[in-house]
Amino acid sequence: MALLQLDIQHLRNIKQANLKFSPTVNLIIGPNASGKTSLLEAISLICQGRSFRTTRIDQLIQHEQSRLLLLAHYYQGNEKQIIGLSRENKTTQVKINTQTISKTTELAGRIAVHVLIPESHELLDSGPKMRRQYLDWGVFHVEHHYLDLWKQYHRVLRQRNSALRRKRSKQEIQAWDQPLVEKAELLHSIRDNYIKRLSPVLADYGNQLIGENPKFDYQPGWNKDVSADYAHQLTESFDQDYDRGFTRFGPHRADIKIKISNKAVQTVFSRGQQKLLICAMTLAQLKLQPTESILLVDDLPAELDPQRRAILMNALKDSGAQVFVTATEPDLIDLSRWTEGKMFHVKHGIFQDVV
């Protein structure tokens, strides 16, 4: 899989760009506010139907313009695909080859795009939501039916929560328990299996990048020690759920904490180590993916010394993904080990090929 060509019109400060990429690594060099992250956003939008910076696509339309336009050529195996995306009048239109597709989420299933951006740090810093997203995203690309199951679970959860909020009878509320338990147990077992496969890969990358052995501590969203099965948990916590008006336990509360020698990693690792850990987590997911991926790495050098940067670049290379890396200075990144690598300079939203 490789994105080989991208035409951009009116996206943030990029008025017009026609770019031909390398299938291996693409280095985007430019000063602050030149348009580096905007290019990565364009790639994310055309490949996934969304930006990693905002949920509001309209923010990406260039000021004073009414429409943004993207056209991508990418190869899936030997097969060339053309994706077009436009955003105008609050409407997004996507065409794959000549066929219009109705939902932008259909894009996400085709091309796996991973991002390593400064905000990725929230994976460790913020609450469990980001880590659940990381987990679900990884599983989704390995098991495509997972998304349907996830949606079914949340549908039943909403029904049960609505019954709790409206203070319906115990019988009416508990009518949702059995379908909820069914979906929850299945979600949990798929997540659990995935974590079991991901753990040794994370340990490998942890060793390679940091010389440490990070471990996932997967918490399914209910107390497995006290109540082994979820049905038991729901019965036990019924009174509390009723008082609070929502379902307190379940896969919607799952978390994967990352531990080093049984301690929370945030309390042990330096900032640079934490950044490398997030890279290790991303690379581990990438390795389990059945299809090749695109990896967007924004502002790589921040907080990394030259030696760690080189180790990370080697790991990125060995991942086999098509990589896009941004930096403010060209000598921060050594491309000598890559074949067919390309470099672009960007200034005021205008890109120039260098290699």
- Is residue 9 close enough to count as binding ligand ATP by CB under 6 A? no
Q: Which of 1, 19, 21, 35 binds ligand ATP (CB under 6 A)?
A: 35
Q: Which of 9, 34, 120, 274 binds ligand ATP (CB under 6 A)?
A: 34
Q: Which of 36, 114, 131, 275 binds ligand ATP (CB under 6 A)?
A: 36
At 127 the three-state DSSP class reads coil
Contact 94, 104 (CB under 8 A): yes
DSSP per residue, 339-353: SS-EEEEEETTEEEE
Contact 297, 325 (CB under 8 A): yes
- Is residue 37 close enough to count as binding Mg ion by CB under 5 A? yes
- Is residue 37 close enough to count as binding ligand ATP by CB under 6 A? yes
Tokens of residue 72, six digits: 């991508």
Contact 154, 148 (CB under 8 A): no
Nearest Cα residue to 298 out of 118, 122, 38, 113: 118
Of 33-41, 146-154, 204-212, 251-259, which segment contacts ligand ATP by CB under 6 A?
A: 33-41
Of 28-36, 70-78, 101-109, 147-155, which segment contacts Mg ion by CB under 5 A?
A: 28-36
CB of 62 to ligand ATP, least distance (A): 4
What SS3 string covers 250-270? CHHHCEEEEEECCEEHHHHCC
Site residues (CB under 6 A) for ligand ATP, limited to 52-91: 59, 61-63
At 66 the three-state DSSP class reads coil
DSSP per residue, 122-151: HHHHS-HHHHHHHHHHHHHHH-TTHHHHHH
**CB closer to ligand ATP out of 61 and 186:** 61
Site residues (CB under 6 A) for ligand ATP, limited to 282-311: none
Q: Which does 22 bind (CB under 5 to 8 A by kind): ligand ATP, Mg ion, none?
A: none
Tokens of residue 76, six digits: 């899936």
Q: Which of 21, 30, 160, 294 binds ligand ATP (CB under 6 A)?
A: 30
Residues 6+ apart with CB under 8 A from 86: 67, 68, 69, 70, 92, 93
CB of 14 to ligand ATP, least distance (A): 8
Of 28-36, 153-161, 212-220, 255-263, which segment contacts ligand ATP by CB under 6 A?
A: 28-36
CB of 114 to Mg ion, least distance (A): 17
Count other Cβ atoms within 10 Å, centred on residue 290: 9
- Residues of this chain that interact with Mg ion (CB under 5 A) are 36-37
- Residues of this chain that interact with ligand ATP (CB under 6 A) are 12-13, 30, 32-38, 59, 61-63, 328
